């Protein structure tokens, strides 16, 4: 008893104080969100790049520096701006001491992105190598770090370089395991910075990015002019810029920004815009249209400048500020006043656009009413199905839950890890169900191959039992806001049938719920194709090259197993493939890529053209394998 008591004794020795770098390295998720290996656009390695660039953008916003250069060579990232440069006597402190920085002085950075000054320190702490150099008034000062620990504090020297700051870092591979940068994601980052800062030039590995028309350019790139119901409406005012159009796609498509920060999860500004847009349209047409009909098929970009913004996390993906500035108007009133005046004036001056908006709303209204009866029957069918079958094996934590309890941080982490696996058949779903984490992972089992939904109307979502039950499992019938799982993972066999089911499910989401794809909720589960083992070691391989490498490593004649289906993988083995290091590939739409054109090419009736594409790319793949 005495030994047990000593083990759990709570005294002064139980209390431990971490310094800033230890805390960041111990709890990196608090500072940069999820870690990841670079496969997802919200992985931490991209947040590291963003944190450094944000400081450069803040300099640009204050009128200092019109160009930012980013060079990525393997895992080494170098970012150079042409702002004022960090004051030379504070170079070490700014990147290594919490609560140090100019952003605490509102006069210096009135509408900055990174008010708390933690960003660059987090990059420093999470890098195996970090170097910062400030060029200022003919002098330069450099400091080098490893894991946040100062390696060398260089003396000030003379310099002929233009003023500004240069940061080089290598993200720590012990934290970001097996990571690599996906330049498609960084490309989107560059464009977003330029759209929010018209006239700024970004240069990534020699490629130049610049926007002259801000959010108008963003929406022009994101939409197809031929499919837009009317030319893009572009409105600008003090601390606000908005671009709006309507198309024929399903869902609502928004791009929201605060002080140059892409708020992927929206926040008070986006909610205020959605409300203000509905009210302005109702007031203009003097008709109480349903809000869902007004916003159906909208594509809009909203950017605001807020004094000392409050975000709901360090990664700044969701705005929590209620006011534009202290003592100023609420976000809701600010947007109401702006749209109530500027959009109303625009519609009075542009009657053709007003007529096009009215026709789009009335079309949505007709479609909604036509679906009403079908939806009612489908809802009843879904309720009955939930009672009598086990298509859905649910989890305890859901994405639409509010974190509660003593440890809200842990609860929030579980909510953000909430996952729905969409599997084919009882065998695969059985393996995942036995191996899953019941707190955060749910399983939905498909019966046979789903319907090819390309070109079909949303009526099929309610008439097709599989689609209807899946929609209810996700809780997205009334909109994206009710989504119950942060991650939707399509898990199919690694064979022709499995690939076909995967493609059909991707088509379903892109056709009817594109918001889920745009907001990085849909993934493909990657499971090993081979198991190579001897009596001493087991290696799981995801392609032929890894298999050959494993055979060479183990030597002799190791046992080789080819997994053709998920059901062939035992639950004990499966647990490691859907655990913390799960390999899941996000379904991503490139900037400027139009969903309907994409689906038409891959799922439409252009059989010959698609066949030629497959043959040509198969030849390329074979050539690469042979090489």
Could you read off the pLDDT of 342-372 as tens digits, one per residue?
Answer: 999 999 999 999 999 999 999 999 988 888 8
Which class is domain 389-527+566-593?
Answer: alpha beta
CATH domain 21-210 topology: Heat Shock Protein 90 (3.30.565)
Count of residues for the chain?
627
Q: Cα separations (Å) of 143 from 118, 149, 158?
A: 18, 11, 15
The model's pTM: 0.76
Residues near 478 by beta carbon (within 8 Å), at least 6 away in sequence: none
pLDDT band at 280 (very low <50, low <70, confident <90, very high): very high
How far is it, in rounded angstroms, from Cα 295 to Cα 282? Answer: 12
Q: Give me the mean pLDDT over the 54-75 stretch.
A: 90
> What's the confidence (pLDDT) of residue 621?
43
> What's the confidence (pLDDT) of residue 618?
64
Greatest Cα pair distance, the chain, in angstroms, is: 85
Mean model confidence pLDDT for the chain: 84
Q: At residue 614, does pLDDT exceed 80?
A: no
501 alpha-carbon distance from chain centroid: 24
> What's the confidence (pLDDT) of residue 385?
67
* Intervals of CATH 3.30.230.10 along the chain: 215-366
How far is it, in rounded angstroms, from Cα 11 to Cα 184? Answer: 52
Q: Give me the mean pLDDT over the 261-279 stretch.
A: 88
Q: At residue 477, does pLDDT exceed 70?
A: yes
Contact 353, 233 (CB under 8 A): yes
Could you read off the pLDDT of 438-476 as tens digits, one per residue?
Answer: 999 999 998 888 888 888 888 888 888 889 889 989 998
Pairing verdict, β 67-73 and 201-204: parallel
Residue 143 pairs in a beta bridge with 132, 153
How far is it, in rounded angstroms, from Cα 251 to Cα 366? Answer: 16
Could you read off the pLDDT of 144-163 as tens digits, one per residue?
Answer: 999 888 999 999 999 999 99
CATH node for 215-366: 3.30.230.10
* Residue whose pair of structure tokens reads 């605490």 in the numeric block: 104
Contact 201, 263 (CB under 8 A): no
* Intervals of CATH 3.40.50.670 along the chain: 389-527+566-593
Most confident of 27-36, 269-278, 514-523: 269-278
Phi and psi, residue 166, nearest 5°? -125, 130
Pairing verdict, β 164-171 and 127-136: antiparallel
Residue 133, classed as helix, strand or coil, is strand
> What's the confidence (pLDDT) of residue 444?
93
Residues near 490 by beta carbon (within 8 Å), at least 6 away in sequence: 422, 501, 502, 505, 506, 522, 523, 524, 525
* Intervals of CATH 3.30.565.10 along the chain: 21-210
How far is it, in rounded angstroms, from Cα 547 to Cα 625? Answer: 13
Let me know if 210 is exposed, middle or buried by CB neighbors in 10 A (0-12, 13-18, 19+): middle
């Amino acid at each position: 008893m005495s030994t047990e008591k000593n083990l759990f004794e709570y005294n002064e020795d139980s209390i431990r104080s971490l310094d800033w770098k230890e805390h960041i390295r111990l709890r990196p998720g608090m500072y940069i969100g999820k870690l990841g290996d670079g496969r997802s656009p919200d992985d931490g390695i991209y947040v590291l790049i963003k944190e450094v660039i944000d400081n450069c953008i803040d300099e640009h916003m204050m009128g200092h520096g019109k160009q930012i250069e980013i060079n990525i060579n393997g895992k080494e990232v170098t970012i150079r701006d042409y702002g004022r440069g960090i004051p030379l006597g504070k170079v070490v402190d700014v990147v290594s001491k919490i609560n140090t920085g100019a952003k605490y002085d509102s006069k210096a950075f009135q509408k900055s992105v990174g008010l708390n000054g933690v960003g660059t320190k987090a990059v420093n702490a999470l890098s195996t190598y970090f170097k910062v150099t400030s060029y200022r008034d003919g002098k330069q000062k450099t400091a080098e770090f490893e894991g946040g620990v100062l390696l060398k504090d260089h003396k000030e020297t003379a310099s002929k370089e233009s003023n500004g700051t240069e940061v080089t870092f290598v993200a720590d591979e012990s934290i970001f395991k097996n990571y690599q940068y996906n330049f498609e994601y960084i490309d989107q980052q560059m464009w977003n910075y330029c759209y929010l800062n018209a006239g700024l030039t970004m240069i990534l590995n020699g490629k130049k990015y610049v926007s002259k028309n801000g959010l108008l350019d963003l929406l022009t790139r994101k939409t197809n002019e031929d499919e837009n119901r009317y030319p893009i409406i572009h409105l600008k005012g003090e601390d606000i810029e908005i671009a709006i159009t309507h198309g024929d796609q399903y869902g609502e498509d928004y791009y929201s920004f605060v002080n140059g920060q892409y708020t992927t999860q929206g926040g008070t500004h986006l909610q205020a815009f959605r409300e203000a847009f509905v009210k302005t349209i109702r007031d203009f047409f003097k008709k109480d249209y349903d809000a869902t009909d007004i916003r159906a098929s909208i594509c809009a970009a909203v950017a605001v400048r807020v004094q000392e913004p409050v975000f709901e996390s360090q990664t700044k993906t969701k705005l929590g500020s209620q006011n534009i500035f202290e003592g100023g108007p609420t976000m809701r009133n600010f947007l109401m006043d702006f749209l109530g005046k500027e959009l109303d004036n625009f519609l009075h001056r542009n009657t053709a656009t007003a007529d096009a908006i009215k026709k789009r709303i009335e079309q949505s209204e007709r479609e909604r009413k036509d679906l009403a009866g079908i939806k009612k029957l489908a809802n009843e069918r879904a309720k009955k199905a939930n009672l009598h079958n086990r298509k859905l094996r649910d989890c305890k934590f859901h994405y639409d839950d509010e974190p509660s309890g003593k440890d809200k941080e842990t609860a929030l982490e579980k909510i953000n890890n909430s996952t729905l696996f969409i599997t084919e058949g009882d065998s695969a779903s059985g393996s995942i169900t036995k191996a899953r984490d019941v707190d955060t992972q749910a399983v939905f089992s498909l019966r046979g191959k789903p319907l090819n939904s390309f070109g079909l109307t949303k009526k099929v979502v309610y008439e097709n039992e599989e689609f209807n039950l899946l929609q209810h499992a996700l809780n997205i019938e009334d909109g994206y806001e009710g989504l119950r799982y942060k991650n939707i993972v399509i898990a199919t066999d690694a064979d022709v049938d499995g690939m076909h089911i995967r493609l059909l499910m991707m088509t379903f989401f892109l056709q009817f719920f594109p918001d889920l794809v745009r907001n990085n909720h849909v993934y493909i589960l990657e499971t090993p194709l081979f198991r190579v083992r001897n009596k001493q070691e087991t290696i799981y391989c995801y392609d032929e090259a890894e298999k050959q490498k494993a055979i060479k490593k183990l030597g002799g004649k190791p046992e080789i197993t080819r997994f053709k289906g998920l059901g062939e993988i035992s639950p004990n083995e499966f647990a490691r493939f859907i655990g913390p290091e799960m390999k899941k590939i996000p379904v991503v739409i490139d900037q400027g890529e139009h969903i309907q054109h994409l689906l038409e090419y891959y799922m439409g009736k252009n059989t010959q053209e698609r066949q030629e594409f497959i043959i040509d790319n198969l030849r390329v793949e074979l050539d690469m394998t042979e090489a």
